Amino acid sequence: GGPGIKNCIADVLPILAKMLENMKAEPLHLCHRLDKETTGVMVLARSKEAAEKIRLLFKTRQVEKIYWAVVLGDPDPVEGVVEIPIVEKEVKSHQSHYKMTLAPRYRVRAEDGRVVKARGARHAERAVTRYRRLAAASACSLLQLQPITGVKHQIRVHLAYGLGCPILGDHKYSHWSKLAPQKLPELTLRRLKLEQSKARHLPLHLHAHRLCLPLGQPLDFVCKLPLFFQKTLRKLELDIPKD
């Protein structure tokens, strides 16, 4: 749910409960959120008590979350941690809009190249993302991601602005100052059999692959990749991991 969202998962929870449990079912409860364009695992609870327990696990960062993403370019280094605070800012252009962006605590001084402390943005939130490259081909990479914190659009911002590798189909964070379709490398367009003018139809290639909940005996949930994501991996000749 949220501003301008017409179809929300919360609206279909009573119907989903009836499909699972027959007509006498109690509605299911949402335990966490996913960006509207992100695919993958979503945990629902059958009772309010279970939902509150699980929400607390998310809030206290006890849930292990693993995402997969196809990105443009190749991160350097190929494995590491991005730890840069994130803040929401207004983008002043001919179409003013709001975006999440980096608010680094340090900067390189132009005069002598020394790293010095930057003035922190007041409302910036701590954000930490672990990443690892799984495959690279066709001017793209397949990354495994583990968000340690849960800031809005964290993975998208850290990849696009922190590593310079925006997610394929992320038209919002591929540019800063404009709202425009993502510009793709020639090789990527060729492999996808796509014209640049049609790039705006590419969906976001970010998938919540796995969730592990430490509830007594840990519960491990895995969601396989959607068909469009699998097709993209094949076209780009990115090897699909076996797990």
Distance, CA of 170 to chain centre:
10
The one-character DSSP state at 15 is H
pLDDT in tens, 92-145: 877 788 899 999 988 788 888 888 888 777 789 999 999 999 999 999 999 999
In a domain, 158, yes or no: yes
Distance, CA of 33 to chain centre:
11
In a domain, 57, yes or no: yes
In a domain, 243, yes or no: no
Gap between the Cα atoms of 55 and 190, Å rounded = 44
Residue type, 163: L
Instruction: Show the domain range for 190.
Output: 9-236
Angle value at C-alpha 68, between 67 and 70, nearest 5 degrees: 145
Please list the active-site residues.
35
Gap between the Cα atoms of 65 and 48, Å rounded = 22
In a domain, 209, yes or no: yes
Specify the CATH number for the domain of residue 147.
3.30.2350.10
In a domain, 241, yes or no: no
Our count of domains for the chain comes to: 1
Model pTM score: 0.91
Name the least confident of 6-20, 67-81, 211-225.
6-20
In a domain, 74, yes or no: yes
Q: Is the peptide bond before 77 cis (omega within 30 degrees of 0)?
A: yes
Which residue do the tokens 């007509």 mark?
23
In a domain, 242, yes or no: no
